[in-house]
């Protein structure tokens, strides 16, 4: 029984690492768990610049990304297009930020 629990624990750590190992994978994971799996898997992701200032210059551990075909929020019908991806240690985590 202890071996089974150990195998499950190690496989969960590996899955989390794979889903957050690159900025684009972290972004796709965030959008997928927000409830938009089709957009997460099919949309193209591009670097996002706002007012000709790169987002990386504002915060050294963060970058801005945008979807070319963003998901549309069901409640407000607004596009969920711009995101901030922040690096923490060796992993990346994404947050939705409107007009970074």
Spell out the domain ranges in the chain.
Answer: 2-96
* 34-88 residue pLDDT tens: 888 998 889 899 888 765 455 555 566 788 888 888 888 888 888 888 888 889 8
Distance CA 42, CA 67 (A): 10
Q: Token pair of 99, please? A: 């007009």
Distance CA 84, CA 56 (A): 10
Mapping DSSP onto H, E and C, the string for 5-24 reads HHHHHHHHHHHHHHHCCCHH
The whole-model pTM stands at 0.78
């Amino acid at each position: 029984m202890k071996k089974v629990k150990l195998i499950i624990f190690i496989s969960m750590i590996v899955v989390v690492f794979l889903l957050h190992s690159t900025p684009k994978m972290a972004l796709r994971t965030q959008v997928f768990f927000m409830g938009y799996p089709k957009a997460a898997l099919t949309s193209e992701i591009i670097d996002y610049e706002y007012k000709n200032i790169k987002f990386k210059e504002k915060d050294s551990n963060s970058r801005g990304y945008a979807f070319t075909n963003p998901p549309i929020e069901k409640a407000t019908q607004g596009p969920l297009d711009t995101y901030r991806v922040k690096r923490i240690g060796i992993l990346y985590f994404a947050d939705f930020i409107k007009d970074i």
